[in-house]
Amino acid sequence: MSYLFEQYNLKEWKLIYLTLHKSVLTTPELIDMEFFNDLQKYLQSKAEKTGLEPIDHDTWINWLNNAKNCGVSVQIMNRSITNIRGAVLPEITDI
């Protein structure tokens, strides 16, 4: 699957994905298309390889739009849960 995607520029795939995604409201069957799902998986794996968490919506959208510093605050590397005054907090901090 990824061989096809690797033949073309990543920015082009991002644009195609964003264009298709915008059409989901008017053409909901796009969500069930194998191509759309494969493209999303491919792009998510590319984002993860750069250290970003594509599950975080803002990070994902910024990365798709080629924004600079699109996920500095939500990188998935070098993170741990913080324990303050005996209570484990749900927030994540950089190590």
On whether residue 92 sits in a domain, the answer given is: no
On whether residue 12 sits in a domain, the answer given is: yes
- Ordered per-residue pLDDT tens for the chain, 95 residues: 568 899 999 999 999 999 999 999 999 999 999 999 999 999 999 999 988 888 888 888 889 988 876 655 444 444 444 444 555 444 444 44
Count of the separate structural domains present in the chain: 1
The CA dihedral of 25, 31, 36, 41, to the nearest 10 degrees, is 120
- The per-residue pLDDT for 48 is 92
The Cα–Cα gap between 80 and 48 comes to 18
On whether residue 53 sits in a domain, the answer given is: yes
On whether residue 85 sits in a domain, the answer given is: no
On whether residue 63 sits in a domain, the answer given is: yes
pTM across the whole model:
0.68
Domain span including residue 26: 2-68
